[in-house]
Amino acid sequence: MVVGPDSPLNPDLDLLFARHQAHCHADTPPESIHMLDRSALATPTITFLALRDGDTAIAMGAVKDLGDGTAELKSMHVLAEARGTGAAQLMLKALVQAARDRGARAIYLETGAQPSFAAARALYLRAGFRLCPPFAHYREDPNSAFMALELRG
């Protein structure tokens, strides 16, 4: 498995984006969905990465520079059939490194608070993220869990 820079507009990521969107929409009200569309992920303020097993993209994620010395993890998704292989940990490690490479002192994320997002929250907690208040433009939302990881110190 290899992680590297990619374009969110790459057609071979269609399945990842379709699954990510379906997961986010499965039990989250529209007003609580904060994922960016593919074109919004293709900007200079965002580092977009894909993880491939051979020629197959099995995971993706992005780091957005928030412009204040912090970054936000966006759109991380691992195909269900690749879960349990270490792909999620590998992708998360690469995304945290991308935030460090951008000079971020902390990386934040918003994920679902529903039971369907429990595995994601557990992954982030194991990686050292801690629950935090809403950040950037976010507001309190019963469907959202906010987390942060300090990168310096």
CATH number attached to the domain at 2-150: 3.40.630.30
pLDDT in tens, 19-64: 878 766 577 666 766 677 899 999 999 999 999 999 999 999 999 9
Measured between its terminal Cα atoms, the distance across the chain in Å is 30
d(CA 59, CA 51): 5
Between the CA of residue 149 and those of 1, 24, 43, 52, what are the distances in Å?
25, 23, 23, 25
pLDDT value at 87 more than 70: yes
pTM of the model: 0.92
Instruction: Please tell me the predicted confidence (pLDDT) of residue 24.
Output: 63
- Of the candidates 107, 127, 101, the one whose C-alpha atom is nearest the C-alpha of residue 66 is 107
Instruction: Please tell me the predicted confidence (pLDDT) of residue 53.
Output: 94
Q: Is 124 exposed, middle or buried (0-12, 13-18, 19+ CB in 10 A)?
A: buried
d(CA 66, CA 85): 31
How many CB atoms lie under 10 A from the CB of residue 16? Answer: 23
According to DSSP, residue 114 is labeled: S
* pLDDT band, residue 5 (cuts 50/70/90): very high
Q: Where are the domains of the chain?
A: 2-150
Instruction: Please tell me the predicted confidence (pLDDT) of residue 17.
Output: 87
pLDDT in tens, 94-128: 999 999 999 999 999 999 898 988 999 999 999 99
